[in-house]
């Protein structure tokens, strides 16, 4: 493996490692949350499909708004909106994981809640400042993007039920192909390349001199890995093998994601741009299912 290839794996490995750690905190805390409009307990896979389509629609609307804003020269307004969204998201997610951590120790005293609220507010706003400030170095922005990818991905992996989680990443991977080759992502990149005065309000990609990987890719890689970790502690025949049975499917999923990223990076040598989700998500799910089959046979 060349030095360049090692560097390609590093941001993905770091993001997944942080996300798995956050998901572990969620598992140990014992708190279960289902953040979906349609209950899978009542509707099963059909509710999961409706949830997946619902969240995919939000993703499509979001990227379309970004495209329209850039097309009509509203980058400043879009920048303010994105800054507010990332600020809220950073504060909320840091508070969420801090609260899970407190739950492990049963510390619900008001003073602790106030302290984690203050910590979440300042740290979340600090991350937002680094991401949007023109004074921030590329390395700092890249670090914040990795952290956001882990925070978002682990949260989705924790709160989304199983059918929703798998169908969501599957449908989103299909849309990723459309968006990159014929949809808004392709058009946004073409606009920024054709007009030097057209700039993204904030760069949502982990960037180096030779390649880039989007925040969305990192978040959904993390979501798939963390959700398979949670499932490992819920499936009976896996629990028959103890801790090994619970965590191996997650590591198999993570291996599939990283291998998929490797194949995608290799294909990028021949193409200028490729969707980051389909191969990695596809191999991640495939490796997960293979690991389940092996444990089921054993």
For the stretch 69-97, pLDDT in tens is 888 888 888 889 999 999 999 999 999 99
**Angle CA(18)–CA(100)–CA(236) in degrees, nearest 5?**
80
Show the tokens assigned to 12.
């993905």
At 61 the pLDDT is 92
Range with the lowest mean pLDDT among 48-57, 146-155, 198-207? Answer: 198-207
Residue 297 makes CB contacts below 8 A (sequence gap 6+) with none
Show the tokens assigned to 46.
């059909």
At 199 the pLDDT is 61
Are the C-beta atoms of 164 and 52 separated by less than 8 Å?
Answer: yes
Rounded Cα distance, 95 and 107, in Å: 14
At 70 the pLDDT is 83
User: pLDDT digit string (tens) for 245-292?
Assistant: 999 999 999 999 999 999 998 888 787 788 889 999 999 999 999 999
Give percent of the chain with pLDDT exceeding 70: 93
Is the pLDDT reported for residue 147 higher than 90? yes
Half-sphere exposure in the Cβ direction for 221 (13 Å, CA):
35
What pTM was estimated for this model as a whole? 0.92
Rounded Cα distance, 128 and 233, in Å: 34
Rounded Cα distance, 146 and 213, in Å: 10
Beta bridge partners of 214: 205
Are the C-beta atoms of 156 and 165 separated by less than 8 Å?
Answer: yes
At 3 the pLDDT is 40
Query: Who has greater pLDDT, 2 or 23?
Result: 23
Are the C-beta atoms of 229 and 27 separated by less than 8 Å?
Answer: yes
Give percent of the chain with pLDDT exceeding 90: 61
Task: pLDDT band for 138, please (50, 70, 90 cuts).
Answer: confident
Beta bridge partners of 212: 207
User: pLDDT digit string (tens) for 29-47?
Assistant: 888 888 888 999 888 999 9
Domain ranges for the chain, please list them: 3-72+142-297
Is the pLDDT reported for residue 12 higher than 60? yes
Residue 73 falls in which region: left (phi positive, over 0), alpha (psi -120 to 50) or beta:
left
| Rg, C-alpha atoms of the chain | 19
Provide the angle, in degrees to the nearest 10, between the axes of the packed helices 75-104 and 3-29. 50
Q: What is the 3-state secondary structure (H, E, C) of 85-136?
A: HHHHHHHHHHHHHHHHHHHHCCCCCHHHHHHHHHHHHHHHHHHHHHHHCCCC
Helix (H) or strand (E) holding 213: strand 212-214
Range with the lowest mean pLDDT among 31-40, 146-155, 171-180, 184-193? Answer: 184-193
């Amino acid at each position: 493996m060349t030095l360049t290839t090692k560097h390609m794996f590093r941001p993905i490995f770091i993001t997944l490692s942080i996300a798995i750690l956050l998901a572990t905190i969620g598992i140990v805390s014992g708190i279960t949350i289902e953040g979906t409009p349609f209950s899978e307990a009542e509707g099963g896979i059909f509710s999961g499909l409706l949830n997946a389509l619902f969240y995919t629609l939000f993703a499509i609307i979001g990227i379309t708004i970004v495209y329209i804003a850039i097309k009509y020269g509203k980058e400043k307004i879009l920048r303010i909106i994105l800054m507010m969204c990332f600020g809220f998201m950073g504060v909320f997610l840091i508070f969420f994981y801090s609260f899970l951590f407190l739950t492990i120790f049963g510390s619900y005293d008001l003073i602790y809640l106030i302290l984690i609220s203050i910590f979440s507010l300042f740290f979340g706003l600090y991350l937002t400042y680094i991401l949007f400030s023109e004074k921030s170095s590329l390395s700092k922005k890249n670090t914040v993007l990795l952290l956001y990818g882990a925070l978002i991905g682990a949260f989705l992996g924790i709160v989304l039920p199983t059918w929703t989680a798998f169908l969501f990443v599957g449908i989103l991977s299909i849309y990723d192909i459309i968006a990159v080759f014929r949809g808004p992502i392709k058009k946004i990149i073409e606009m920024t390349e054709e007009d030097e005065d057209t700039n993204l309000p904030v760069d949502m990609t982990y960037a180096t001199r030779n390649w880039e990987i989007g925040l969305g890719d990192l978040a959904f890689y993390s979501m798939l890995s963390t959700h398979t970790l949670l499932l490992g502690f819920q499936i009976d025949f896996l629990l028959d093998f103890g801790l090994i049975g619970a965590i191996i499917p997650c590591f198999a999923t993570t291996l599939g994601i990283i291998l998929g990223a490797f194949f995608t990076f290799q294909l990028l040598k021949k193409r200028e741009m490729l969707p980051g989700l389909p191969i990695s998500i596809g191999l991640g799910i495939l490796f997960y299912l293979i690991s389940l089959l092996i444990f089921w046979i054993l």
